[in-house]
Structure formats: structure tokens, C-alpha cells
Amino acid sequence: QAMEIGDSNMEETSDPAEAAPEQIDEAVERVREMADKLDILLVKFMKNCDSHCSKGPRHSKSFFQLILNLFDRYILRTRNTKFTQYIIFHVCRKKAEFVDAYLERLLQYSLSDSLPLEIRLRAAEYIASFLARALYIRVDSVEST
């Protein structure tokens, strides 16, 4: 038997369509609140990225390396992430050298015989996703990488 969306106090039902309308309204409201909080966090994070990237070349490069290392450690190794890649896309937008470094890293991973096939495939998927979505990428960045 299924529990209704995210509330352990809701009664068990065999069919979510049988849930009381007020239970559904409460669940929808909680989802909206969570989405609003996530939007606020992402806006703050993006502003923080912008601030770090405008503090000078040394600081912005150091910040980019931090983001790239976090990407390597957590995002690349996690299945079915949908939107977290846009964090690094946003940071790469700040400098062409970030685009080059990101693409180079992903290309190295996708061609490495020492990494598991799953990581190599995911790296190739991120390359394709980045090239398809990041309209700010210069052709010479792709050619040189």
C-alpha cells in the first residue's frame, strides 16, 4: 500500500486517487514551498559564484578549481542528476579558460582506460550536454580541446 506524498501522518491508501482533497492540497503546498526554497538557494548560490568570479583572476581561478573538484567528486559520480550540471555551466560562462578546462577534464575522463566505463560514459554525456546547451562556447575552445 502506498503512502500519500511525503506525509507520514496520512492514511495508507491502495490508490493515491482516493486521497482526500485536503491531503493532496497540503502535499502540493509543501512541494511548492520546497521549490521556492530551492529557487532562493540557487539564486544566492549564483550570486555567490558571480562574486567569487569577479574578485580577480587568481581568486576566480581558485574558485573555479573548487567547483570543478566538487563536480568531479560528487556530480560526475552520481547517477541521474538533472540540474546540478547547470552550476558548473554558470561558472564556465564567466571565463573562456573555464570552458576549456572543463571540456579538457571531461575529455580526459571519457578517454581514460583507467576509469570505470560508467564514469567515462557520463563524462561523454556531460560534454554533449554542455556543447548542446552552453551557447557562449567559442568554436576555438572546442577545436583546441
16-47, pLDDT tens digit by residue? 667 778 888 888 888 888 888 888 888 898 89
More confident residue, 119 or 15: 119
CA distances from 23 to 19, 33, 34, 59, 65 (A): 6, 15, 17, 49, 46
Instruction: Inform me whether the pLDDT recorded for 3 exceeds 50.
Output: no
pLDDT at 5: 46
Q: What is the pTM of this model?
A: 0.70
Is residue 69 scored above 90 in pLDDT? yes
Question: 35-46 burial, b for 16+ CB within 10 Å, e for fewer?
Answer: eeeeeeeeeeee
